[in-house]
């Protein structure tokens, strides 16, 4: 995803590297893109040398936003195969990084995924002195909740967090969405019907936290199911959405059933669509749990559900204000499904054995 701090992090690594035999190229710059248009990859090596890199020695090449150069995987493979070059690459598409590099650099690459800030990182960037304790009293809850509410409503993009006024935050969020749509969807997606992609995005945002019906989306948008599935794969592959499968002990059943949709950042949701605070909170909790990996949801035909099951062991039920009934219902489901533990996640203070969103 764009604007999560990839370029800043890459520059920090570049500056900290104890070597003069290195270069940094921003591949959103058309001048830098031109270096990779050579059919003869030795000519690309020569251009690196004209930029000050001694390819005969161990060298380091930093390339930012690599999705802008379509033939980059083959260039990188060739140069790694023939010279002592170490590449540091960033891109906003997991499809590009994982799939196009999977064969060419098998066993020779490490991929790190960077997401919007979690709440702890949010507090650090805000230079807040608050440290979230394990046990939460009502007074501690009251001290933390204004900052957590801001985190829910405006999200964790660093550039948004650093803005001071609400209007600046809203403008920054709309700028992030515009950049995503114009640079990822229009420039890289190469879709025939960009209007349908836009309308699909708006539909998904309005249904955050809900199961998606591909056939229904197909009918609403006037496009085929296959096309909808292709758009969804692209949106997920560029980190804009996440699609989580249902919990099932039967893998085949799990694959067939409808998935729930969440957006990469609740601030983006809030800036584009007016959805309920409960759904916005649920989207925030999902993003806080996402880094832990292996998330499913659970739902019975009767409507009884668990919002999130993490690694098929720990249940999380998200409530604006958790009640005793919510906790006891979750406890019963945890026992029936033979899960290890269950946590009721609350926004408002509710006492007892409650986990608050800002503790995740």
Give 27-46 pLDDT, tens digit per residue.
999 999 999 999 999 999 99
Answer yes or no: is pLDDT of 1 > 80.
no
Q: State percent of the chain over pLDDT 90.
A: 79
Answer yes or no: is pLDDT of 197 > 90.
yes
Give the pLDDT of residue 189: 85
Answer yes or no: is pLDDT of 265 > 80.
yes
Answer yes or no: is pLDDT of 244 > 60.
yes
Answer yes or no: is pLDDT of 253 > 80.
no
Give the pLDDT of residue 92: 79
310-353 tens-digit pLDDT: 999 999 999 999 999 999 999 999 999 999 999 999 999 998 88
Q: How confident is the model at residue 220 (pLDDT cuts 50, 70, 90)?
A: very high
Answer yes or no: is pLDDT of 135 > 70.
yes
Contacts of 179 (CB under 8 A, 6+ apart): 2, 3
Give the pLDDT of residue 106: 66
Contact between residue 275 and residue 310 where contact means Cβ atoms under 8 Å apart: no
Give the pLDDT of residue 356: 95
Q: State percent of the chain over pLDDT 70.
A: 94
Give the pLDDT of residue 318: 98
To the nearest whole number, what is the mean pLDDT of the chain?
Answer: 92
Give the pLDDT of residue 50: 95
Answer yes or no: is pLDDT of 251 > 60.
no
Answer yes or no: is pLDDT of 128 > 80.
yes
Q: What is the mean predicted confidence (pLDDT) over 174-189?
A: 91
Give the pLDDT of residue 311: 92
Contacts of 258 (CB under 8 A, 6+ apart): 211, 212, 213, 246
Domain boundaries, the chain: 6-100, 119-359
Residue in 250, 327, 350 with CA at minimum distance from that of residue 296: 250
Give the separation between CA 240 and CA 1, rounded to whole angstroms. 6
Torsion angle in degrees (nearest 10) through CA of 225, 227, 228, 232: 140
Give the pLDDT of residue 13: 97
Give the pLDDT of residue 159: 96
Answer yes or no: is pLDDT of 127 > 60.
yes
Residue 8, class by beta-carbon neighbours within 10 Å (0-12 exposed, 13-18 middle, 19+ buried)? exposed
Give the pLDDT of residue 110: 84
Answer yes or no: is pLDDT of 98 > 70.
no
Q: Which three-class secondary structure state does DSSP give residue 246?
A: strand
Give the separation between CA 249 and CA 269, rounded to whole angstroms. 32
Residue 350, class by beta-carbon neighbours within 10 Å (0-12 exposed, 13-18 middle, 19+ buried)? buried
Q: Which of 91-105, 137-151, 310-324 has the lowest mean pLDDT?
A: 91-105
Give the pLDDT of residue 94: 63
Give the pLDDT of residue 68: 87
């Amino acid at each position: 995803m764009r604007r999560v701090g990839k370029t800043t992090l890459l520059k920090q690594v570049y500056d900290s590297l104890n070597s003069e035999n290195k270069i940094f190229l921003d591949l959103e710059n058309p001048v830098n893109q031109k270096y990779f248009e050579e059919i003869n990859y030795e000519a690309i090596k020569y251009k690196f040398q004209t930029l000050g890199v001694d390819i005969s020695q161990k060298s380091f090449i930093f390339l930012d936003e690599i999705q802008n150069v379509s033939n980059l995987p083959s260039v990188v493979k060739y140069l790694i195969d023939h010279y002592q070059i170490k590449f540091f690459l960033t891109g906003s598409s997991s499809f590009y990084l994982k799939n196009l590099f999977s064969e060419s650099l098998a066993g020779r690459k490490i991929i790190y995924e960077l997401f919007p800030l979690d709440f702890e990182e949010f507090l650090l960037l805000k230079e807040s002195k608050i440290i979230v304790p394990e046990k939460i009293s009502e007074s501690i809850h009251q001290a933390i909740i204004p900052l957590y509410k801001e985190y829910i409503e405006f999200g964790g993009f660093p550039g948004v967090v650093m803005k001071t006024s609400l209007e600046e935050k809203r403008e920054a969020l709309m700028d992030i969405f515009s950049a995503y749509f114009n640079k990822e969807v229009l420039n890289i997606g190469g879709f025939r019907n960009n209007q349908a992609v836009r309308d699909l995005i708006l539909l998904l945002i309005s249904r955050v936290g809900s199961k998606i019906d591909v056939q229904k989306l197909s009918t609403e948008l006037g496009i085929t199911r296959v096309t909808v599935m292709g758009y969804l794969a692209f949106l997920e592959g560029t980190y804009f959405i996440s699609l989580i499968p249902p919990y099932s002990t039967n893998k085949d059943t799990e694959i067939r059933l409808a998935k729930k949709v969440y957006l990469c950042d609740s601030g983006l949701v809030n800036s584009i669509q007016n959805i309920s605070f409960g759904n916005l909170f649920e989207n925030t909790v999902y993003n806080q749990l996402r880094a832990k990996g292996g998330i499913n949801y659970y739902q019975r035909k009767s409507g009884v559900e668990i919002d999130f099951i993490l690694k098929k062991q720990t249940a999380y039920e998200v409530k604006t204000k958790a009640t005793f009934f919510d906790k006891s219902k979750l406890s019963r489901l945890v026992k029936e499904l033979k899960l290890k533990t269950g946590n009721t996640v609350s926004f408002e203070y509710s006492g007892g054995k409650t986990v608050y969103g800002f503790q995740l």
